[in-house]
Amino acid sequence: MKSPILTSKIDWRLIGVRTLAGIGVIAILAGAVWINLLLLQGLPGGNVNIYWHGARSLLHRTDPYSTGVSIDVQRDIYGRAALAGEYPYNQELPLYILILFIPLVAIPDVVTAIFTFFFPALVVVPDADWFAIIRAIWTLILEIAIIVSVYFSIDLTDRRPGRVFLIGFYLFPLVWFYSLKALQDGDVVILTTMLYMVILWGLRTGKDQLVGVLLALITIEWEIGLPFLVFLLVWILAHRRWTVFITLILTLFVLNVIASFIYPQWFGQFIRSVVSSGRSSSEISVLRVLSSIWPALPEKAGWVLVSVMFVLVYLEWWAARYLDFRRFYWVACLTLAATPLMGLSVDLNAYVVMGPPVILLLMVIQDRWPVTGAWLNIFFLLSLSAGSWVCYWQFVEAREISLAVVMYLPVPLFLIIGLYWVRWWALQPPRTWLDQVTTAGLQ
C-alpha cells in the first residue's frame, strides 16, 4: 500500500497563486520604499539619525551613548555641533531597544559582504546612500504601524464606522501635521502608539503574556508613556492579572541581561544621556509654553494647571480601577490626551498618541447622532488636519513664532473637553439598529 504522502498530487495552481501573491507583496513594499525615498529626499531627519548612529556604533562595538555619537547626529541635522539652547540629539533609547535596530543598520555591511563574496574581482563595491535607503525602509515600518494603530483604535471603541469614515480614519494620520512630522523625523513614538493599542486589545481579550512582553517594550518613550503605563499597572493590579506582572518582570530581566552582556556599562551611560537631554533648554513642557505665551503670568499659574490635570486624571484612574473595559478605555484615552499638560517634557512628535482619543471621540459622536454627527465629524477631521497646517504656515513659517507655542496646547485641550462632552455616551453600550430606527422616527 502506497503512502498517502507519496500518492498525493502537488497543487501547482495553489503554489503558483501563492508565489504570485508573494511577488506582488514584495513589489508593493519595494514600491512603497521607493516612494518614501522620493518624498524624503532633501528633508532633514531627526530621531532616525539618532537610531542610525547609535545602532551603527553598537554594531561596531563602540559606545552608542557617547558624546561623539551625539555630535555625529548634530552634524547631520545642523551641519555642525549643536550650540547652547539647541537640542543635543542624545541617544535616549535603552540598549535592549536599540539592539532591535541592528538588523536594519546592518544591511549595508551584509550587502558589502555579499558583493565581496560573489564578486571578489571587484576592487570597489557599488556605493549607495545607505542612510537614505534605511530611512525609507524605517518610514515604511512606521507607516504600517500607523495603519495597525488605526485598526485597533477603531476596534477598541466597540463601534463600527461607515465606509466613508473608515477611509477617513485611515487617511487622517497621513495628512495630520503631528503624524507627518513624526514620520519625517522617523520617531519611534509611532511604533509606541501601535504597542499601546495592541496592549489595550490584549487586556480586553485576555492575552496577558503578550501584554507583559509589550509593556516591557513601551519603555521606549517614557515621557509621553509614563502616566499611561502607571494607569495600566494600577488597573492590572486592581484586576489581579498577575500573569502580566510576571511576564513583564521576566521580559525586563531577560532584556537587561542581554543588554548587559553586550555592553555592561550601558545603564549608567543611558541615564547620563537622558539627564543631559533633560537639562537642555530646548526641551518642551507646558510650563515653558505658558511662560512663552504669557511672560507676565506667574509660574505658580502653570503649576496650578499641572496640578489640576494630575488630580483630574488620578480621580478618573481611581474611579475606573474596578469597572468594565469601556470605562477603562475612555480613561486610557483621557490619560494620553492629558499627558502634555501634566508638566512632563513632551515633544510634538509624541502627539501621534492623540490619534486613538480622536477616533474614540468621533466614533461616539457618530454613534450618538448618526446624521448630525456625520457632519460634525467631517468638520472636526478637517479642522484637525487642515487647521494644524494653517497654524504652522501662518505662525511658524510666516511669523517665525516657536512651533511649540502655536501647536502645543490646542489638541490636548480640544480632546479633554471633547472626551468629557461624550463621556456619558462613551461609557454606554453602542446603539443598536433599533435605537437608530427609534431615534429617526422621533426626529
Could you report the per-residue pLDDT of 203-232, keeping only the tens digit for each?
Answer: 999 899 999 999 998 877 777 888 999 999
Question: How much of the chain exceeds pLDDT 90, in percent?
Answer: 28
Q: What whole-number distance in Å separates Cα of residue 218 and Cα of residue 426?
A: 26
- Residue spans of alpha helices (H) in 60-162: 67-78, 95-98, 102-105, 107-118, 130-156
Q: Is the pLDDT of residue 435 over 60?
A: no
Kindly report the backbone phi and psi dihedral angles of residue 321, in degrees, each rounded to the nearest multiple of 5, phi listed first: -65, -30
Euclidean distance between CA atoms 180 and 284, whole angstroms: 19
In this prediction, residue 252 carries a pLDDT of 92
pLDDT (0 to 100) of residue 409: 85
Q: Is the distance from CB of 302 to CB of 291 less than 8 angstroms?
A: yes
In this predicted model, what pLDDT tens digit does every residue of 73-83 receive, in sequence order? 888 888 888 77
How far apart CA 348 and CA 182 sit, in angstroms, is 8
Band of the pLDDT at 257, cuts 50, 70, 90?
A: very high
Please say whether the beta carbons of 356 and 334 come within 8 A: no
Alpha carbon of 291 to those of 100, 279, 286, 303, 385: distances in Å? 39, 18, 9, 11, 27
Nearest Cα to Cα of residue 356 among 373, 383, 335: 335
Cell of 291: 511662560
* Average pLDDT of the residues of the chain: 83
- Closest among 108, 171, 178 to 137, alpha carbons compared: 108
- Lowest mean pLDDT segment, chosen from 106-110, 167-171, 234-238, 427-431: 427-431
Q: How far apart are CA 351 and CA 367, in angstroms?
A: 25
pLDDT of residue 432: 55
Minimum mean pLDDT among 122-136, 189-203, 392-406: which range?
392-406
- pTM for the model stands at 0.87
Query: Per residue in 281-312, pLDDT tens?
Result: 556 778 878 877 777 676 677 788 888 889 99
Which residues, other chains included, contact 330 with Cβ-Cβ below 8 Å and sequence gap of 6+? Answer: 320, 360, 419, 423, 426, 427
Q: What is the arithmetic mean of pLDDT over 233-249?
A: 91
Which of the two residues, 342 and 278, has the higher pLDDT score?
Answer: 342
What would the DSSP string read from start to end of 330-385? HHHHHHHHHGGGTT----GGGGGGGHHHHHHHHHHHHHH-TTHHHHHHHHHHHHHH
CA distances from 280 to 85, 131, 223, 269 (A): 6, 27, 15, 17
The C-alpha atoms of residue 179 and residue 350 are separated, in whole angstroms, by 9
Radius of gyration of the chain (CA): 24
What integer pLDDT is reported at residue 14 of this predicted model?
80
Question: Does the pLDDT value for residue 441 go beyond 50?
Answer: no
What are 4-29's pLDDT values in tens digits?
Answer: 544 556 777 788 888 888 888 889 98
pLDDT of residue 298: 67
Query: What is residue 396's predicted lDDT score, i.e. its pLDDT?
Result: 63
d(CA 174, CA 163): 18
Q: Which residue has the higher pLDDT, 240 or 429?
A: 240
Crossing angle (nearest 10°) for helices 242-262 and 222-238: 140
- Asked if the model's pLDDT at residue 274 lies above 70, the reply is yes
